[in-house]
Amino acid sequence: MHILLAEDETVTRLAARTLLERAGHRVVAVEDGPAAVAAAAQIAFDVILMDLGLPGLPGDEAVRAIRGRPAGSSPRILMLTASITADGRDRCAGCGADGILAKPLQLDSLAAALAGSPQAAAPVDEPDFDESAIATMRDMLPAARAAELIAKTAAVLRHHDRTLGEALRNGDRTTAGAMAHKIAGVSGQYGCLALRRAARALEAALESAVEAALEDGSAADLPRRIAELTDALAPALAFLDRCAAAARG
């Protein structure tokens, strides 16, 4: 298929693009909403994979812009999101997309979504780490490139955690929620499943806290969720550092 991939996080975009191209698809990758709309206007794609949280123009607004064009090709559009909160689900459902794919992108999930089958829920006994995600990356890329990408992923997670902490100290729960969402997406793509669970839970708690603050200022679940993410981050970074070292040989 000819696929447009719109994803702003560099390490996630590279991993998803590599996966799709190794499966034989032709991929155009962009990193923001305006670029996605422009690419869709120029090329007749079979499928558009649209991240919900794009800069410049959010993914749901980009879908509306694409669907609002004069009659022409009508590609399948699937939204990509690291965690499907109530707000995120409403935004995806109301923009004209054909479905939602949870990150990390997987070929079987993509095939099921295109066939109209629901995604399977994550197993209850999901492990803390999925080493097969890193193994797949090492199989698809030269060793030096895989090591570079894994190391960059650890750096990205450290950066997002610093931004998250700063937002929480400043009482900016909207930015904190966006950072938790990004951490969930990156960590899932590279097999750090415990960190992904903690980031998803924190994002949901922050969304609830924002809504509660409009009513009574309560945010009872936040300290526990922040602590869980903090506890999960260090093992995830150590895991990625080990994997990067192993890839270097």
119 pLDDT tier (thresholds 50, 70, 90): low
Domain limits, the chain: 2-114, 131-248
State the pTM of this model: 0.81
Look at residues 54, 51, 82, 79 and name the one whose alpha carbon lies nearest to residue 202.
82
Range in 112-116, 189-193, 213-217 the model is least confident about = 213-217
Residue of higher predicted confidence among 219 and 138: 138
Q: What's the start-to-end Cα distance of the chain, in Å? A: 35
Q: Are strands 99-102 and 76-81 parallel, antiparallel or unpaired?
A: parallel
Range in 73-77, 164-168, 235-239 the model is least confident about = 73-77
Asked if 225 and 183 touch (Cβ cutoff 8 Å), the reply is no
Q: Which two tokens stand for residue 20?
A: 């799709």
Distance between CA atoms of residues 105 and 125, nearest Å:
20
Residue 133: the pLDDT is 81
How many C-alpha atoms does 59 have within 13 Å on its Cβ side? 28
Q: What's the CATH class of domain 2-114?
A: alpha beta
The mean pLDDT value for 138-166 works out to 92
Distances (CA, A) of 68 to 35, 44, 96, 208, 214: 16, 15, 10, 32, 34
Asked if 137 and 15 touch (Cβ cutoff 8 Å), the reply is yes
152 pLDDT tier (thresholds 50, 70, 90): very high
Q: Give the right CATH number for 131-248 from 1.10.3120, 3.90.1200, 1.20.120, 1.10.1740.
A: 1.20.120
Burial of 154 (0-12, 13-18, 19+ CB in 10 A): buried
Distances (CA, A) of 113 to 23, 166, 210, 236: 16, 37, 31, 29
3-state secondary structure of 182: helix
Residue 104 preceded by cis peptide, ω within 30: yes
The mean pLDDT value for 101-116 works out to 85
How many C-alpha atoms does 9 have within 13 Å on its Cβ side? 34
Tens digits of residue pLDDT in 11-50? 999 889 988 998 899 999 999 999 999 999 999 999 999 9
